[in-house]
Amino acid sequence: MALLDLTKQLAQQALLSATQEPAAATPDNPGAVMLGQIGAMQKALKDDEELMVFFHCGAEKIRVMEIYMPSPQVAVLSGVDANRAPARVVSAVEALQLVTRTGKVQPGAKPVRVNLVMPKAKDSSKK
């Protein structure tokens, strides 16, 4: 009898723990937060303004044109350097520090927007 009661009690505890929220909440996805902030800054711009995003590393300065997040921990920045040569940076999201500025666009020119790319969620039904 005691073994049966113990088994019932363990089953009840397992069921309760499976239905309750975990005690420690998972931290936010820093890459998604970063993309959300840049997207919000771009959305707030006027038609004659553009958001300029820069990445500095030593003497290198890259104007970022696209941010791609292949995973929540890694960001790939694509853009141009001071000589207008294509440049890419692959970095851990936690190590990134970006500088943003808002600037007016020359009359008749189209404002440049930073392309923000998050990976598509994988469909669990496909294998």
For 69-108, the pLDDT digits (tens) are 998 889 999 999 999 999 999 999 999 999 999 999 998 8
pTM greater than the 0.85 cutoff: no
Angstrom distance (rounded) from CA 109 to CA 118: 28
Q: What angle do CA 29, 58, 88 make, to 5 degrees?
A: 55
Q: Is 2 helix (H, G, I), strand (E, B) or coil?
A: helix
Please say whether the beta carbons of 72 and 93 come within 8 A. yes
